[in-house]
Amino acid sequence: MKHLVNNYPQNNLELGFSFNAFGAILSTLDEMYGVRGGRGLAMRAGRETFKYALKEFMPVLGIADLAFRPFPLGMKIKIGLEVFAETFNKFTDQIVRLEQDTTSHLWIIERCPVCWHRQSESPCCHLAVGLLQESLFWVSNGKNYRVSEVSCVAAGDDACVITINKKPI
């Protein structure tokens, strides 16, 4: 991916950055820094992605002030997750749907760029985990949520499933 050094993709809504490139970069992180080091960097990248990319979207989506609206926290989290999922489905080739059980929201990525064309012994979509953590931190006005990936296409599962505890830590 040398051609991307100091030559970032255009900051626009065209689908100009391929899942192949995305998966390859994240796979290389693990190869270069080991599984633990790669995980830390990918999560950090996910958190930064929220700050730099998704936050720009908030005014467009009409939820720039969601964190400050007088709704119960649980409702804000639910609205935030629904809008984030819609945003991915509408503006990217990623396919996300939401489910929930009594304790958690389930963020189910049916077509996932993070582990695209990767193979892994354990779930490896850490960038998606970091991005969700940061978005929840933002929506909740500074609370941390337990976010963990429980199944992953790269590890042979049907979808990448990330659980989000409904109660903050």
Binding residues vs Zn ion (CB under 5 A): 112, 114-115, 125, 160
| Structure tokens given for 19 | 């899942």
Give whichever of 66 and 115 is closer to Zn ion, judged by the CB atom: 115
Give the shortest CB-155-to-Zn ion separation in angstroms: 9
Give whichever of 129 and 160 is closer to Zn ion, judged by the CB atom: 160
Give whichever of 66 and 114 is closer to Zn ion, judged by the CB atom: 114
Give whichever of 30 and 66 is closer to Zn ion, judged by the CB atom: 30
The torsion region of residue 62 among left (phi > 0), alpha (psi -120 to 50) and beta comes to: left
Give the shortest CB-36-to-Zn ion separation in angstroms: 18
Give whichever of 58 and 130 is closer to Zn ion, judged by the CB atom: 130
Q: Distance between CA atoms of 82 and 63, rounded to whole angstroms?
A: 11
Give the shortest CB-132-to-Zn ion separation in angstroms: 13
Q: Distance between CA atoms of 38 and 44, rounded to whole angstroms?
A: 10
Q: Distance between CA atoms of 62 and 11, rounded to whole angstroms?
A: 20
CA distances from 46 to 13, 26, 126, 139 (A): 19, 11, 8, 16
Give the shortest CB-154-to-Zn ion separation in angstroms: 6
Instruction: Give me the torsion for CA of 66, 70, 75, 76, rounded to 10°.
Output: 20
Give the shortest CB-121-to-Zn ion separation in angstroms: 14
Q: Distance between CA atoms of 58 and 79, rounded to whole angstroms?
A: 13
